[in-house]
Copies of this chain bind each other. A is one copy, B any other.
Amino acid sequence: MSADPAPARRTRRHDPGRRDRLVDTTLDVIAARGVATATHRAIARAADVPLGSLTYHFGSLTELLAAAFTRHVDDVAARFDARMAAAPDRAAALEALVEHLTGDLLGSERDLVLAVELYVAAARDAELRAVTQDWMSRSRRSLERHLDPVTAREVDALVEGLVLHSALSTDPMDAAQIRAALLRFAG
């Protein structure tokens, strides 16, 4: 302990990509301790940049949070759509959906937490709600590659419930139970 006080960094002027790294660090902070603790100061500390750097690159904290969640949603939605596009038929699409849900979303503590934190933030902030809605609609469009619109919508709601359930329950459903539920519903 009591290490040298930041010796390496010094006059790191004109740091290209800092804005990008701030977005990444923001996601890290949200995933680690929740959107409520994602303050300018906490993010600045985690990214090892001065406080003023945040308000220089982002006009407000909400703008930064929106940028972070947008990046995350883009990432997850793209992965999901790739899975759906690669599925040759409806049965394969359902298996790919199970894989996405149990592997990508619920398998990664980080992705699960980020999803719930986004729900949380969106519940009260219109700008973040737009990000959530974008995610929902992209997810539904991916499902509609193989499912009819009505089913796609219902599956989407069920998926949201399973995510919430996994995050809040002490005794969450395992992969086999989730698979059974989805197949029962849409199989």
Residues of B within 8 A of A168 (CB): 119, 122-123, 129, 132-133, 136
Q: Does A124 make an interface contact (CB < 8 A)?
A: yes
Q: Does A161 make an interface contact (CB < 8 A)?
A: yes
Mask, A143-187, CB within 8 Å of B = 1, is 000000010011011111110110111100100010011001100
> Are A169 and B133 closer than 8 Å at their CB atoms?
yes
A42-88, CB < 8 A from B: none
What's the Cα separation between A162 and B160 when bound, in Å?
8
A121-136, CB < 8 A from B: 122-124, 129, 132-133, 136
Count of this chain's copies in the oligomeric assembly: 2
Would you give the shortest CB distance from A110 to chain B, in whole angstroms? 14
Q: Please classify how large the interface on chain A is, using the bins under 10, 10 to 19, 20 to 34, 35 or more.
A: 35 or more
Q: Does A116 make an interface contact (CB < 8 A)?
A: yes
Would you give the shortest CB distance from A57 to chain B, in whole angstroms? 25
Q: Does A1 make an interface contact (CB < 8 A)?
A: no
Would you give the shortest CB distance from A94 to chain B, in whole angstroms? 15
Residues of B within 8 A of A170 (CB): 133
Which listed residue, B124, B154, B162, B167, touches A181 by the CB 8 Å rule?
B154
Q: Does A105 make an interface contact (CB < 8 A)?
A: no
Would you give the shortest CB distance from A108 to chain B, in whole angstroms? 16
* Chain A interface residues (CB < 8 Å from chain B): 34, 36, 116-117, 119-120, 122-124, 129, 132-133, 136, 150, 153-154, 156-162, 164-165, 167-170, 173, 177, 180-181, 184-185
